[in-house]
């Protein structure tokens, strides 16, 4: 699933206050938006406000840290494993197949990183900085695969693929329905145009 | 500009309470997000809360009506005039040139309709319904041009172009910078692939 997942903790170990707070934050902000209050957040996490403020200076910091914490699980969901030795085209399409899968769920609310950046309305908000890094990591994956495939302009292609990823996510939100192959078809057309047939 | 513009009123006539309220709402929601309160909104519009509640049942209704009210100005900004007799490719690219222009402004916060749908987190919110209609109108324009150009699958192409539009808008927000030709280049590649060279 694309919605933020609790990041892994040591198996068997009880989740720390910090982890419980950030996992609750990731889920609540994704589902209800940036307007979620400190009270609701702490209640959900089972953490006192005092404990929260001992760990974080502000709600903005909690939001950024929660996005940061779910980034590895998010990437693991979207990207093919390093050991997957399929050619670049298949590895790129893998990301969009995952997106289509996530977008078909009724509780899909788009890419959590784009949503955060759109909602906070400020490029300097700590959550915006995390969103930018997350998106840059996706673009870097596309670029690496485009280079492997010998694309003429891997940087341009990687940015185009990122745009399709985010536009497809936005479409699923606005239309409130799955993508039905649209993201994969669009990327297929761009890869064809770039001469990446395998 | 892509941010919501005051819709036109009869020249010389004083703006009605409703119009002042909706114009202030469009501006505030776009700039600050769905969390803007009724108090701030009424203060900005110079309208009493009582007057607001005489006109609208809820903030959700104000939000939807403000998006509805700015739709014609938004479309007029993005779409080429009907009298523009350039071929389909140029008319489609016109939309993306406008987007690039809007996205270069420091106060660009993405497509106001997508932003609203992302922020309200509910497909049944009245603002989500307006967002869907606005996006469908853009897709319908693309489809009409794709048909004129003899595209093999105008419906698919129109959806792909809409995805690029929204993904490019998301990118400008996340990266907090202009698109530098990326939206136009991506659409050019898709139009090439669809055999639309003029």
* Structure tokens, A34: 């940036």
Whole-number Å distance between alpha carbons of A63 and A60:
5
Count of the separate structural domains present in chain B: 1
Residue B7 domain-assigned (yes or no): no
Residues of chain A contacting B137 with CB distance shorter than 8 Å: none
B37 to chain A, any CB pair closer than 8 A? The answer is no
CB-CB contact of B140 with B159 (8 Å): no
Q: How confident is the prediction for chain A on average, in pLDDT?
A: 95
Does residue B8 form part of some domain? no
Q: pLDDT tens across B96-155, in order?
A: 999 999 999 999 999 999 999 999 999 999 999 999 999 999 999 999 999 999 999 999
Query: What is the ipTM score, two decimals?
Result: 0.94
pLDDT confidence tier of residue A3, bands split at 50, 70 and 90: low
Domain-embedded: residue A7: no
Interface of B with A in 144-173 (CB under 8 A): 156, 159-160, 162-171, 173
* Nearest-angstrom CA–CA distance, A107 and A172: 11
Q: Identify which has the larger pLDDT, A186 or B3.
A: A186
Q: Per-residue pLDDT averaged across A29-51, rounded?
A: 97
8 Å CB contact between A128 and A116: yes
- Whether residue A8 lies inside any domain: the answer is no
CA distances from B91 to A170, B134, B149 (A): 23, 18, 11
pLDDT, tens only, A111-168: 999 999 999 999 999 999 999 999 999 999 999 999 999 999 999 999 999 999 999 9
State the Cα–Cα distance between residues A174 and B128, nearest whole angstrom: 7
Residue B10 lies in a domain: no
User: What is the average per-residue pLDDT within A54-69?
Assistant: 97
In a domain, A95, yes or no: yes
Asked whether residue B130 is domain-assigned, the answer is yes
Sign of CA dihedral A184, A181, B197, B80: negative
- The domain spanning residue A21 has which CATH number? 1.10.357.10
Interface of A with B in 114-143 (CB under 8 A): 114-115, 117-121, 123, 128, 131-132, 135
In this predicted structure, what is the pLDDT of residue A55?
A: 97
Q: Is the Cβ pair B32, A121 closer than 8 Å?
A: yes
Q: Which residues, including other chains, have CB under 8 Å from residue A159's CB and lie 6 or more apart?
A: A139, B171, B182
- Report the residue of B100, B152, B167 to disrupt the A interface, i.e. the one with the largest count of A CBs within 10 Å: B167
**A1 inside domain:** no
The structure tokens listed for B32 are: 């600050």
- What residue numbers bound the domain in which B61 lies? 17-193
B174, A132 in Cβ contact below 8 A? yes
């Amino acid at each position: 699933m694309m919605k933020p997942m609790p990041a892994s903790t040591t198996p068997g170990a009880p989740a720390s206050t910090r982890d419980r707070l950030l996992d609750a934050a990731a889920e609540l902000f994704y589902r209800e938006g940036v307007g979620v209050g400190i009270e609701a957040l702490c209640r959900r996490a089972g953490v006192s406000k005092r404990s929260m403020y001992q760990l974080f200076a502000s709600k903005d910091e909690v939001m950024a840290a929660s996005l940061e914490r779910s980034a590895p699980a998010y990437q693991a969901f979207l990207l093919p494993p390093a050991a997957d030795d399929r050619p670049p085209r298949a590895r790129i399409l893998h990301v969009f197949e995952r997106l289509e899968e996530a977008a078909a769920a009724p509780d899909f609310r788009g890419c959590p990183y784009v949503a955060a950046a759109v909602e906070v309305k400020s490029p300097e908000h700590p959550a915006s900085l995390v969103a930018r890094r997350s998106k840059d990591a996706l673009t870097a994956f596309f670029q690496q695969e485009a280079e492997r495939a010998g694309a003429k302009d891997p940087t341009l292609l990687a940015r185009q693929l990122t745009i399709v990823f985010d536009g497809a996510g936005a479409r699923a939100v606005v239309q409130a329905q799955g993508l039905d192959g649209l993201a994969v078809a669009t990327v297929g057309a761009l890869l064809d145009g770039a001469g990446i047939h395998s």
